[in-house]
Structure formats: C-alpha cells, structure tokens
Amino acid sequence: MKNLVFIVEDDLTQQKLLRHHFEESLGSYEVKTFTNPDDLLAHLDEKPFAVVLDHFFADRKETGLHYLSIIKKKSPATPVIYHTTLVDEAVKAEALKKGAVEFINKDMASLVRLRTALDAIHEKKSKKSFFGKLFGG
C-alpha cells in the first residue's frame, strides 16, 4: 500500500514535478495535489502520510503559515513539510514553531531534501509503531 501525500502548490509546473518525483521516482507514494489550500482542508479526514505545503498562493491573501496552523489544529499528528521559494529566517522559525517538521527552500536540491524529510517521517512512524506494539501502546 502506498503512502498518501498531499501537495498544496498553486504553480502547476511545480505541482507536476512534485507529483512525478513522489509517484514515479520514489515510487512508494500516492499523491493528491491541490492548488487551493482550502481544498486540502476538506480532505484532511483522508489522513495523509504527510503534507507538502507552499507559502504563497496567488489567489489568497493568507500564506501557508495560516494554513499550517489550521492543519495542525485539525490533524495534529499529520507531518507538514513547508516547501517555499521564500528565503526568510523569520518565516522559517514561525513555520517550525507552528509545527512544520521541515522547512525546505525550493531550489535544485529541494527534491533530495524532500526525500530525506519523508524518510525521516517514515523512520519516526516506524519506531513509534514498533515501540507501541512492544510496550502495548
């Protein structure tokens, strides 16, 4: 069974690149893409393995930080990877404070960093599952 990853990205080229990377190159993910972050919120009950969230949305005044807060309130256990072109330490600190597991700048190496972040989520969930079974949790 493939892990479901939600990608919220309003740039359709970036969206296609990310979908291809997760589904074809990595092969172990099913991807649902959203151009509108409100559409993602309507699907959170599908319990995605992880969410990759952009910062800017052309048709929204709210940024990804706003939506990150909502995602973490509605689904606190869902890991969110903040993926943006913005290079801003204050935004990075705020995203991490609001619960993002990673802050990744979009550049030539971001696909590798996304893979590394997902691997870390896998490892954390595997350990939690293993120790939960071991100690009856």
CB within 8 A of 117, min separation 6: which ones?
Answer: 50, 81, 101, 102, 104
Residue among 70, 80, 74 nearest 8 (CA): 80
Q: Provide the residue-wise pLDDT of the chain in tens; the chain has 137 residues.
A: 789 999 999 999 999 999 988 888 777 899 999 999 999 999 999 999 999 999 998 888 999 999 999 999 999 999 999 999 999 999 999 999 999 999 999 888 888 889 889 888 988 888 765 455 544 55
Is there a contact between 53 and 67 (Cβ–Cβ < 8 Å)? yes
pTM for the whole structure = 0.85
- Domains, the chain: 3-134 (3.40.50.2300)
Determine the pLDDT at residue 132: 54
Is 32:62 a contact under the CB 8 Å cutoff?
Answer: no
Q: What local confidence, expressed as pLDDT, does residue 115 receive?
A: 86
In eight-state DSSP terms, residue 27 is -
